[in-house]
Every structure is written in structure tokens, then in C-alpha cells.
Amino acid sequence: MEIQSQVLKQDRQGLNSVFKKDAALIEKIETELCNELSDSKGPIREMCNHILNSGGKRLRPLLVLYSGMLFSDPCEKLIKAAAAAELIHMASLVHDDVIDNSMLRRNHPSVNCIWGNNFSVLCGDYLFAKAFGILSRYRLIRSMDFMVEAIQNMCHGEILQAEDRFCQEIDTNTYYDRIAKKTAIFLSCCCKSGACVGGGNSVEIDIMGEYGLNIGLAFQIIDDVLDFCGNPDIMGKPKQEDLSQGNITIPVIFLLTSEKYGSWMREIVRRRDFSEHVLNQVYCALLESGAIDDCMKLAESHIEKAKQCLKYLPDSPHKELLYELADALKTRKS
């Protein structure tokens, strides 16, 4: 069975207009991913093929490439660093689905749904090994350091989330700590990896890291809003899945701290009553209270912070794409 990817055929709502401008770069990433996984055999090969064909935005490798191309032309090492970042992302999603017992990923059956948890954990480990094999083989030591930082934080963030399941006392500081570790630091490290490989100096690398951190925070806040308001067919997963699993995200935190809805929402979390009727009531309360609008304003504040970072970097076509990517988050649907 040939390792191949159909990701270029996917519709990336919200981010699509930005990514279309660099379809050739995305194709290079896809080719690199397929090449790196082409020596896999048996069930591992089947799982890798399934993951590639499930699609994805390829946001992380593009952040690596765009960040690097602020300072240099796209070289082989930059493509390799981008592919490694995506393999790490793919591995983390496989492991996340095992932890959450998720049966769907991007409207496709998850790896654990088809092959079971044991094979899935090993597949995730295999993808991590492939990623670090690339970074080691091409002597991308700084990129390796950044990816290690990202994985350590993702693991810590996942544990924090598990510890806080169904907790009624979650505040915004706790939420920010969790989403920084689970999502935003990885995007920050992708930007730092690209800037480093591209030849940026230490100040420029740090600036790109701050850009990526704010992009990551905005991305996760919007993701948590879409869990309530998104179209499941576009999202590729059931609606309100986070709350049903006890993951208290920023829209629910706003309800928990609301004078009108706080006691009511705390009782729902305490009883763990997440019937369809109750979830519909929560959704209506989010709209009526203005919590959804407040969340989007919070996300937009991080988008503006990300764009402010770019003012201190050299002008280039890829700087403009980074501006556009930030703005495109406001209209993402998946």
C-alpha cells in the first residue's frame, strides 16, 4: 500500500485563503511526510496512511516554513524541520484520542477506533521517533531542543487537564496555563524552530516565539468556542465534547463566574448531567450571557498581539502571510 496524502484536496475553512497561496509549499510538506513514512510496514504503514489521508490544516509545518522564510529562501533543512513538527503533531493527536477515548478525528474513525489503544500508542511513539530521526539526521539541534520543550509542555498540559476534569473552580489563569502547555507553546516552538533554521538572530527567534504563542492561544480559545458553536460535520467531531468529558474551557468558565448563571452551571458540572437537553441549555446560556462574544474578543486580543510582534521583523511576502494567517483565525470553522 503506497503512503500518500489527500490533504491538498481538503477544504481548510477560515485558513484556506492563506494556505492556497502556498499550495506548492504544502505539497512539499506532504511529499516529505510521505517519504519519511514510506519505509513503514504492516499495521504501522496502514495507520500512517490513514492518518495522512485524514487531512489536517498543516498549520504547524507552515509556521515553521513561514518563520524561516522571513530570513532565507526555503532550504532542505527548513522543509525537514517543518515535516518533523507535523509528525510530532500527528503523534500527539493519536495519543490524545487514546486518552480521550475519541472515536472520530476530522470526520474519520480515529486510529484507536480501528486498531485499538495498544497499536495506537505504538503508532504515536513511532511518529515521535520518525520526527526526532529527521532532526538528528540533519543536525537540527536547536529545532530538536524546541520540539523537546513543546512535547514536555504538551504532556504536562494533558495531565493538568486530566487533574481538573469536572472542577468547578477553574479560573482563567489555570485555563491559560493549560492551553499554553497543551497548544500554544508548541506553535511558539514551531515558529522558533523555523526562524532558527532560517538564520534569524536570538532576538528575532524570540519575537517569532511570541508571535506563535499568541497565535496558539487564539487558536485554542477559538477551538473551545467552536466546540459549542461549530458545525460537527466541519469540525469532524461531536459537538460539546469537551464539556461532556469534564474539560472546563473558557466559555464555561465565563458561565461559572457569571452572577446569573454561575450557581446553575456549577450544579450541572457537579451532577455531570450532560444530556442533549442540558447541553442545549448551556449553549443558549452562552449566547444569552455574551460569553461567546467575550471569548472571541479574548481571541482577537491575542491575534492583535501576534500581529504587533511582526512589526519588529524584516519585511517580506511571508511576513504578510503571517499577518493574513493571524487574521484568518477569526473566521476559522474547523
Contact present, 144 and 135 (Cβ < 8 Å): yes
71-126 pLDDT, tens digit each: 999 899 999 999 999 999 999 999 999 998 889 888 889 999 999 999 999 999 99
Domains defined along the chain, listed by start = 7-328 (1.10.600.10)
What is the band of 21 on the pLDDT scale with cuts at 50, 70, 90? low
Mean pLDDT of 36-44: 94
Round the CA-based radius of gyration of the chain to a whole number and report it.
20
What is the band of 9 on the pLDDT scale with cuts at 50, 70, 90? very low
3-state secondary structure of 110: coil
C-alpha cell, 91: 503523534
149-167 pLDDT, tens digit each: 999 999 999 999 999 999 9
Q: How many whole angstroms separate alpha carbon 123 and alpha carbon 112?
A: 10
DSSP H stretches of helix in the chain: 16-20, 23-37, 42-53, 59-69, 76-100, 111-137, 141-163, 172-179, 185-198, 202-229, 232-235, 241-244, 250-256, 262-271, 276-289, 291-310, 317-328
pTM (predicted TM-score) = 0.93
- pLDDT over 90 (residue 293): yes
Q: Work out the percent of the chain whose per-residue pLDDT is above 70.
A: 93
- pLDDT over 70 (residue 287): yes
C-alpha cell, 160: 493538568
Angle at 149 between CA 144 and CA 154, to 5 degrees: 125
Q: How many whole angstroms separate alpha carbon 279 and alpha carbon 5?
A: 36
Backbone phi and psi for residue 295, each to the nearest 5 degrees, phi listed first: -65, -45
Q: How many whole angstroms separate alpha carbon 117 and alpha carbon 111?
A: 8
